[in-house]
């Protein structure tokens, strides 16, 4: 799984075949990761799962600690079959964390429609960005520093809004997040194609997080602007 790869400028048939195999394996594992995510979300909704609901700031800190624990474990096991199991465990955890938002959206009379719209929108964004990354000759690697800076700003704004509770700020943060993580899909897929990412487990983790954040923020926007009460 962890192989020695030639330079990103090497376009020999063997090198391209290896990169395509990494991309194919990434897509397969990404599709598989949706199963524990959906299962975790469904279980969370059924159990009315609440993660430090009374203390959102503490909840965010604990969530970050658990998430980074998973990241560390995935990094340590990425060259073995155990890495797949750890990644799927992480996606189940993320499904649980998603259940709170989905539960709130489902309280709307059109909640199921909003969830499906967010899912469809995420799928379209992924298809478009992955296609651009695959077919474009432009190098998008220079986006890295800008995207990272954008994530830091989003994180700070999200923390601030835990205390401010401003709907307009939530809308702005979510809209910008959709743009940033859509761009990250483009960046992460092209990294695989160019040989910058050679491990399909860590590649899957990166793209999964992009898709997760796009979906969550699309759903949040739809809930705010399109949620209907009975």
Residue 186 has pLDDT above 70, yes or no: yes
Q: Are 157 and 173 in contact (CB under 8 A)?
A: yes
Q: With residue 56 as reference, give the H or E element that holds it.
A: helix 56-77
pLDDT score, position 3? 40
What's the whole-model pTM score? 0.90
CA distance 43 to 37: 10
pLDDT band at residue 179, thresholds of 50, 70 and 90? very high
Give Cα 189 to chain centroid, integer Å.
Answer: 13
Q: Are 18 and 5 in contact (CB under 8 A)?
A: yes
Give Cα 179 to chain centroid, integer Å.
Answer: 13
pLDDT band at residue 13, thresholds of 50, 70 and 90? low
Q: pLDDT tens, 195-223?
A: 888 999 999 999 999 999 999 999 999 99
Percent of all residues in the chain with a pLDDT value above 70, rounded to a whole number: 93
Residue 9 has pLDDT above 50, yes or no: no
CA distance 127 to 122: 9
CA distance 198 to 206: 12
């Amino acid at each position: 799984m962890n192989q020695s790869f030639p330079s990103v400028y090497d376009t020999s048939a063997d090198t391209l075949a290896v990169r395509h195999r990494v991309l194919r394996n990434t897509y397969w594992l990404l599709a598989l990761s949706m199963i524990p995510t959906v299962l975790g979300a469904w279980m969370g909704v059924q159990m009315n799962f609440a993660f430090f609901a009374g203390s959102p700031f503490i909840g965010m800190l604990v969530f970050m600690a658990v998430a980074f624990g998973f990241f560390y474990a995935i990094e340590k096991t990425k060259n073995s079959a155990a890495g797949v199991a750890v990644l799927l465990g992480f996606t189940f955890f993320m499904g649980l964390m998603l259940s709170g938002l989905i539960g709130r959206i489902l309280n709307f009379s059109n909640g199921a429609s909003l969830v499906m719209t967010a899912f469809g929108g995420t799928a379209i964004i992924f298809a478009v960005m992955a296609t651009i990354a695959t077919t474009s000759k432009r190098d998008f690697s220079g986006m890295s520093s800008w995207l990272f800076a954008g994530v830091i700003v989003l994180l700070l704004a999200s923390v601030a809004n835990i205390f401010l509770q401003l709907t307009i700020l939530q809308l702005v943060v979510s809209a910008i997040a959709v743009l940033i993580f859509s761009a990250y899909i483009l960046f992460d897929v092209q990294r695989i194609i160019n040989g910058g990412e050679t491990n399909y487990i860590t590649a899957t983790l990166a793209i999964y997080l992009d898709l997760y954040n796009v979906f969550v923020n699309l759903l949040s926007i739809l809930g705010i602007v399109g949620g209907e009460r009975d």
